[in-house]
Copies of this chain bind each other. A is one copy, B any other.
Amino acid sequence: MSFQETFKALSDPTRRAILDILKDGAKTAGEIGSQFDMAGATVSHHLSVLREAGLVSDDRRGKYIYYELNVSVLDQITGWVAGLRGEKRHEK
């Protein structure tokens, strides 16, 4: 759940696409996986990277595991970028 983990997680296009898919609500691993042309195991791996980075949370409901977007961690990213933009010249 470190800063580095978050950036690393976002550096893969499949993982960013997963986050996009989760924009409008929680979905099961299967629903997410069906959107990609790759093995379910691979998508499962990407989901675990996103989970360890704190970008999604998972919730088992019976047979299914629902994944949901966790936006709060994204604020760190925005904050870091703002830091670069903000104090650009001669503050203090």
Contact = CB atoms under 8 A, between A and B. Distances in A.
Contact of A74 (B4, B74, B84): B84
Which bucket holds chain A's interface residue count? 20 to 34
A88 B21 CA distance: 10
Contacts of A71: 84-85, 88
A47 interface: no
Interface of A: 4, 7-8, 10-11, 13, 16, 19-20, 23-25, 69, 71, 74, 77-78, 80-85, 87-90
Given A4-B13, A25-B89, 5 more contacts: A23-B83, A24-B87, A71-B85, A74-B85, A77-B77
A5 to B, nearest CB: 10
A11 B20 CA distance: 19
A88 B10 contact: no
Nearest to A77: B81
